[in-house]
Structure 1
Amino acid sequence: MMKKVLFTGGGTAGHVTVNLALIPKFQREGWETHYIGSRQGIERELVEKLDDVHYHWVSTGKLRRYLSLENLKDPFKVLKGIWDAYRVIRRHKPNVIFSKGGFVTVPVVIGAWLNRVPVLIHESDLTPGLANRLAVPFASKVFTTFPETANYVKSNKTQYLGAIVRDELKRGDADRGRQFCQLTGDKPVLLVMGGSLGSQKLNELIRHNLPALTERFQVIHLCGKNQLAPDLDVEGYRQYEYVNEELPDLLHLADVIVSRAGSNAIFEFLSLRKPMLLIPLSRAASRGDQILNAKSFQKQGFADVIEEEELTEERFLGQLNQLFESKEIYIENMSKIETDQALEQVFQSIKEHAK
């Protein structure tokens, strides 16, 4: 009988990319693959492009940390999501479920527990997000990217593995990326990434400083959904909402990267030895997880960091130029780290936990 694996995770691309790395490995071994996400989240957009993955959507609340009238509706949405997930899992009977995080995973993990299906969770950030904190009691195993995460999860289920990096990233081609962007080879390439949903502040910073940036770099700007500036036409500047298949090529093309500090992204940069200037989300806009991620990378000599509250145009341009001038030091530090083992270890562990 064909074994079945069900994946869940969503809200941002970072909660999907690890699943995208694992799905082909199971398919090559003949497993039937299912995915539970939200009705209109980015996970649906990304997963439905894949062959032979059965996508199911469930109701979900947003698990807000701030006061909102929507918070009154969310418990009912989550309860309905648990019922939705319970029915999907009961109908398809997966042998095991892998959860990457994001608010959509909470009803799925509880629905799996009600069906007595083992669940394995992967936490990318140094401190666990709210969704994973709620899900841990119902899980069989919790994998962590940072060793320090075990201090924040009051459970003996944790296992430190490191980051899960997609195999296809290693197969990127700089020439193919240059051709896609129609860039020349006369200047180094700066890649700017604000996350799949974009960063208005980072976008404004880049666009306001394009004269200075394009004097030294060719700039590829991944600005996020609905955040293009269609009237902006500057020589040596290319902007895209989001790229998928082309991302490995653009990462290989980049000489230096400016980015937010989501864990999945920065570990992908690390695996490709790309010097990075990280501008993490502020504590005012998040729970501070990106700041901890960025500081950890800075301490290890992989990245330079500017916190958003300290961000000025002068400081940004100064630290970016300094990072580029010292890029070989950052590359040498990153070259000492092994980044290729976690994907295979998680893959094997998921198989071992299958009913």
Structure 2
Amino acid sequence: MTEQTIILTGGGTAGHVSLNQAVLPELQKLGFHIEYIGSKGGIEQEIIGEAFPNTAYHAISSGKIRRYFSRKNFTDPFRVGGGLVQSLGILRRTKPAAIFSKGGFVSVPVVMAGRMMKIPVIIHESDVTPGLANKIAMPFADHIYTVFNETLAHVPAEKATASGAVIRDELLTGSATSGKELCGFNRELPVLLIMGGSQGSALINQAIRSQLEALTARFNIIHLCGKGNTDPALADVAGYRQFDYVTTELPDLLHYADYIVSRAGSNSIFEFLALEKPMLLIPLSKERSRGDQLLNAELFRKQGFARVLEEEELTADRLSEELVALVSERETFVRNMEAAPSPKTAAEMAALIAGHIKKR
């Protein structure tokens, strides 16, 4: 029997790639041939290329629909059209048994092309409310998987399932010892890991660095500050280790950390939950996003998994106050996280994808 192909797509941010990165090897174990469609030079090309150099990567033209005025709103529809034509060509050559989309605007022409060619399309939505790209893509999907039960109210119920969060296997096998060796800390203090997303956060970076002397008196600090955002002047500060971006090292750093300050992207916060790491979430504001991180963070706050500091309230003093509270409430957070349902494994998610192919 000829090996069946599954096309994975998704990109724009690391959050739109991480699940694909997790399920790719599991689908291969099930006997499928995997190829990836993403944008040229996007973060997905870097991540997939580094993790799976033998996986064919097809770069297509990718546009974006913005919620604000931009001249690119007049040209990007043509880029999406170009991406649709390119996707049709790729799908004709690869003849996939299914397409699995994690979202992001690069996925829209791929999903549309799949529907035009009557290829089963499966979409995954991580946030409480669907992003704009997935909203556009959902009418073309055969099935939609969601992380949150609350999301089912925002998607076509007749073709949706709340499957829960999916955690990468390598996340659970990280090593605190390796994380410590990577950072080189020689002080016995709690470890605070700060993440501003794959692109970093200027606001979080500024707040941390403005209180760096006080914070390093209480914590060893691992600062993932975004590409191009490291500060050479701080390279020799004791108890402070900055990285622009990490990939394979992240599981080790997460295992090493005692506390986490982060944005509130769904993939990341469920990883912190799986590792039972008390977290202070600073979600993107509605002024700079569609508000999905605010909803994610509020659900985690209500369940007793996190403290939340809204971006508009972020000052150096408030950050210090919230960190004091986070430390004092550590046992409560850990107890709540211990009682949370276990996430799905990547193998379980791969089995769900394969199940749709068997039904055809």
Shorter-normalised TM range: over 0.9
**1:261 and 1:278 in contact (8 A); partners too:** yes
Distance, in Å, in 1 between the alignment partners of 2:45 and 2:135 is 24
TM-score using structure 2 length? 0.96
Distance, in Å, in 2 between the alignment partners of 1:155 and 1:333 is 30
Q: Match of 1:336?
A: 339
**Matching residue's letter, 2:46:** E
**Matching residue's letter, 2:275:** L
Distance, in Å, in 2 between the alignment partners of 1:275 and 1:269 is 8
- Counterpart of 1:188 (choices 187, 190, 201) is 190
Note the alpha carbon deviations across 1:55-107, whole angstroms, 9 max, x for none: 00111111111101110001111111111111101110111111001110100
Q: Match of 1:311?
A: 314
Partner of 2:22, secondary structure, is helix
Choose 146-155 or 61-70, whichever is displaced more.
146-155
Partner of 1:156, secondary structure, is helix
**2:230 and 2:243 in contact (8 A); partners too:** yes
Choose 151-160 or 4-13, whichever is displaced more.
151-160
Distance, in Å, in 1 between the alignment partners of 2:43 and 2:112 is 22
Question: Is 2:232 the counterpart of 1:230?
Answer: yes
**Matching residue's letter, 1:319:** E
Gap runs ≥5 in structure 1: none
- The structural deviation recorded for 1:156 is 1.7
TM-score using structure 1 length? 0.98
Distance, in Å, in 2 between the alignment partners of 1:54 and 1:296 is 38
Question: Is 2:321 the counterpart of 1:350?
Answer: no
Q: Match of 2:66?
A: 64
- The structural deviation recorded for 1:342 is 5.5
Distance, in Å, in 2 between the alignment partners of 1:339 and 1:104 is 31
Q: Match of 1:278?
A: 281
Partner of 2:247, secondary structure, is coil
Note the alpha carbon deviations across 1:85-138, whole angstroms, 9 max, x for none: 111011101111110011101001001111111011110000000000000000
Choose 247-256 or 178-187, whichever is displaced more.
178-187
Q: Match of 1:159?
A: 161
Q: Match of 1:198?
A: 200
**Matching residue's letter, 2:42:** G
Runs of 4+ deviating beyond 3 Å: 342-345
Choose 95-104 or 27-36, whichever is displaced more.
27-36
- The structural deviation recorded for 1:341 is 2.5
Question: Is 2:272 the counterpart of 1:261?
Answer: no
**Matching residue's letter, 2:86:** D
**Matching residue's letter, 2:320:** L
Matched residues, number: 355
Gap runs ≥5 in structure 2: none
CA RMSD of the aligned region, Å? 1.1
Note the alpha carbon deviations across 1:203-238, whole angstroms, 9 max, x for none: 111111101110000000001111111222311100
Q: Match of 1:294?
A: 297
- The structural deviation recorded for 1:185 is 5.1
Give the share of equivalent positions with the same residue, in percent.
Answer: 51
Q: Match of 1:4?
A: 5
Partner of 1:226, secondary structure, is coil
Alignment of 1:208-219 (within 5 A): 208-219=210-221
- The structural deviation recorded for 1:325 is 1.8
**1:162 and 1:339 in contact (8 A); partners too:** no
Distance, in Å, in 2 between the alignment partners of 1:279 and 1:340 is 23
Question: Is 2:322 the counterpart of 1:322?
Answer: no
Q: Match of 2:97?
A: 95
Distance, in Å, in 2 between the alignment partners of 1:30 and 1:241 is 36
Distance, in Å, in 1 between the alignment partners of 2:231 and 2:160 is 44
**1:141 and 1:158 in contact (8 A); partners too:** yes
